[in-house]
Amino acid sequence: MAVLAALELRGLTRRYGERLALADVTLSVAAGQTLAVLGPNGAGKTTLLRLLATLLRPHGGEVSVLGHALPDEGWAVRGRIGLLGHEPLLYRELSARENLAVYAALHGLDGEARAEELLAAVAMERRADEPLRTLSRGMVQRVAVCRALLHDPELLLLDEPRANLDPAASELVEPLIGRASGRTRVIVSHDPAGVLAEADLVLGLVRGRVQVLAGAAELDPAALVELYR
């Protein structure tokens, strides 16, 4: 039986004014696979995530996410995507529990049990009633992981997901956002060696153009460092 593609890009192009952010990106990611996106600052990595998350519209090419064409069918996939980016997308004056209650309501969920399960998984249940402004950046990142997973998404879009996490916290979130989660993932990273171990396909971008597109098993981490020169 053929494995369905979770992501299909054909000639994807995006501009910011006259600046080309992504140029003619074509690739396919099967359901359950992990795509690692590498490249220096300004390469187009975060733009790609925002396009897949339906937060930006492409200017050219075709984009299919979980079987739906973007941007026209974005409404059909937004509730099936979990986004974990540089910003936690949480309310600083609210507690972790209150934040998760807000997001559960946005997704139309009675999410109390799910929220407690996730808070326990990231060892935040004892601090879950404190305003986020009183917590460390690492603790806020753990709550952001809970927020991204609250609605049990099929696709995870992860932009440096372990930023601000110490080794112990990284180990806690690994079953939730790592390969063991079984979800389709797109991971933006500046760590070629680290992300290569958990990827199936690697996309290397420089100034929005594809420089590398290959299976992770075919690539040497040392060669990927050239992307950043």
Domain assignment of residue 53, given as a range? 5-88+155-228
- Euclidean distance between CA atoms 104 and 150, whole angstroms: 7
Question: Model pTM greater than 0.85?
Answer: yes
**109 within a domain of the structure (yes/no):** no
**219 within a domain of the structure (yes/no):** yes
27 in Cβ contact with 52 (< 8 Å): no
**128 within a domain of the structure (yes/no):** no
- Euclidean distance between CA atoms 208 and 51, whole angstroms: 13
**141 within a domain of the structure (yes/no):** no
Both tokens of 126, joined, read 């004892």
**Number of structural domains the chain divides into:** 1
**104 within a domain of the structure (yes/no):** no
CATH number of the domain enclosing 27: 3.40.50.300
Confidence (pLDDT) at 3: 58
Q: Which residue bears the tokens 């998984």?
A: 121
**37 within a domain of the structure (yes/no):** yes
Confidence (pLDDT) at 151: 96
At 191, the pLDDT band (50, 70, 90 cuts) reads: confident
pLDDT in tens, 98-155: 999 999 999 999 889 999 999 999 999 999 999 999 999 999 999 999 999 999 999 9
Q: CB neighbours of 177 closer than 8 A, spacing ≥ 6?
A: 84, 145, 148, 149, 156, 158, 161, 185
**116 within a domain of the structure (yes/no):** no
Exposed, middle or buried: residue 207 (CB in 10 Å: 0-12, 13-18, 19+)? Answer: middle
DSSP bridge partners of 29: 7
Both tokens of 92, joined, read 């600083």
Helix or strand or coil: residue 4? coil
pLDDT more than 70, % of the chain:
99
